[in-house]
């Protein structure tokens, strides 16, 4: 993950003094005398991290980075070989590479060591296979939309769903969105209204529209499917273990998906691993904002109560969402799972293939 390097005007006395220099020396001594002598770290891979400084605004992190196969054994690590990072992940001081090394010390994972209080997860392609959404949930909603509208037409919930759909269709017709057809007034009769709604909803589903009116209706249809045991939430096998670990470590985890909050709760509340909602602190959907707009991620960082957006890690499979979250100041990882869309070359983000890769 790319990080901003601070100006070279950082006072040398501060870098070499007790806050930074002293902590580096402590980490180095600890590595050599304790961890290495115990036989716990005998190689050169992996990193060691210490959060330091009592004053929160000036809090920093010392990282003994992983190095290349031609690098330095942990037993020989010295203070000068370590990174010092601010809480945001910005580099305060970098080690000077030795001339005999083929590669410089590796700090590609250093941003992950910045103070992380919250994790925000996407669903499709991140916690859950894309195929579950495209091959199970979408078809279920499409095949049951007419039945759902017919059976619940007079309920207050469905009246609100129809109100939102009418407003969306009016906008779509003005913009010439393909597949949009006018929704007649209630005076035209229940059957005609539902016929037009079904036509519009089917077109929205085919186009995979990320709009609140569709997602809200889908969530209500899926609720019936979950209640009737016709649907069960699917997550990758590494997800439950990671959620349990983060929960045990006091890290708050939230979901941010284009699917409605109700749909999100249904997916995580009804999995083969049981109810995973006990590990989640909240759910965000498109009512907080479009997932490709940076403002949405800033609003989330405010809502979860962190001091800085950089204390939130966002994990997604969508490059445009990653760009928006990074622009808002969040830490970002891109999930690379089977079936996910390919990423642009030189995208500049750190990627993971499993939640076990998140340190």
**What does pTM read for this prediction?**
0.65
CATH 1.10.10.10 fits 132-227, yes or no: no
What kind and span of H or E run contains 12? Answer: helix 12-16
The string of pLDDT tens digits covering residues 281-315 is: 999 999 999 999 999 999 999 999 999 999 999 99
Q: How many CB atoms lie within 10 A of CB 126?
A: 28
Closest of 95, 107, 45 to residue 70, by C-alpha: 45
pLDDT at 274 > cutoff 70: yes
Tell me the fold of 119-129+235-357. Rossmann fold (3.40.50)
Q: How far is CA 4 from the centre of its chain?
A: 21
- From CA 312, how far away is CA 140, in angstroms rounded? 34
- 10 Å Cβ neighbour count for 337? 17
- Give 69-127 pLDDT, tens digit per residue: 444 454 555 666 666 665 545 556 666 655 555 545 555 444 444 446 899 999 999 99
SS3 85: strand
Residue 344 to residues 60, 294, 320, 348: CA-CA distances in angstroms? 33, 19, 10, 9
Higher pLDDT: 148 or 36? It is: 148
196 has a pLDDT exceeding 90: yes
Q: What's the pLDDT tens digit per position in 82-91?
A: 666 655 455 5
Q: Give me the residue spans of the domains in the chain.
A: 12-113, 119-129+235-357, 132-227
Identical fold for domains 119-129+235-357 and 132-227, yes or no, is: no
pLDDT above 50 for 181: yes
In the block, residue with structure tokens 């942990």: 74
């Amino acid at each position: 993950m790319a990080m901003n390097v601070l100006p070279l005007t950082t006072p040398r006395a501060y870098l070499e003094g007790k806050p930074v220099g002293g902590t580096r020396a402590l980490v180095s001594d600890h590595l050599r005398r304790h961890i290495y002598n115990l036989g716990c770290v005998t190689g050169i891979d992996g990193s060691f991290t210490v959060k330091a400084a009592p004053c929160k605004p000036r809090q920093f992190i010392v990282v003994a980075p992983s190095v290349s196969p031609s690098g330095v054994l942990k037993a020989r690590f010295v203070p000068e070989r370590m990174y010092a990072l601010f809480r945001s992940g910005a580099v305060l001081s970098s080690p000077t590479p030795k001339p005999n090394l083929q590669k410089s010390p590796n700090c590609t994972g250093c941003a992950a060591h910045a103070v992380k209080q919250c994790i925000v997860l996407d669903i499709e392609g991140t916690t859950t296979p894309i195929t579950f959404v495209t091959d199970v949930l979408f078809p279920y909603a499409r095949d049951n939309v007419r039945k759902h509208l017919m059976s619940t037409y007079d309920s207050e919930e469905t009246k609100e769903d129809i109100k939102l759909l009418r407003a969306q269709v009016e906008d779509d017709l003005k913009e010439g969105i393909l597949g949009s057809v006018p929704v007649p007034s209630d005076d035209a009769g229940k059957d005609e209204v539902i016929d037009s709604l079904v036509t519009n909803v089917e077109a929205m589903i085919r186009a995979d529209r990320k709009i609140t009116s569709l997602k809200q209706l889908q969530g209500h249809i899926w609720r019936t499917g979950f209640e009737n045991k016709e649907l069960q939430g699917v997550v990758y096998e590494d997800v439950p273990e990671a959620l349990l670990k983060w929960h045990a470590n006091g890290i708050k985890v939230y979901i941010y998906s284009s699917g409605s909050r109700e749909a999100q709760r249904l997916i995580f509340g009804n999995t083969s691993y049981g109810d995973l909602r006990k590990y989640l602190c909240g759910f965000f959907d498109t009512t907080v904002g479009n997932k490709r707009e940076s403002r949405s991620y800033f609003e989330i960082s405010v809502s979860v109560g962190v001091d800085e957006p950089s204390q939130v890690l966002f994990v997604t499979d969508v490059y445009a969402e990653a760009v928006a979250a990074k622009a808002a100041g969040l830490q970002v990882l891109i999930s690379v799972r089977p079936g996910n869309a390919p990423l642009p070359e030189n995208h500049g983000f750190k990627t993971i293939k499993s939640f076990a890769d998140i340190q």
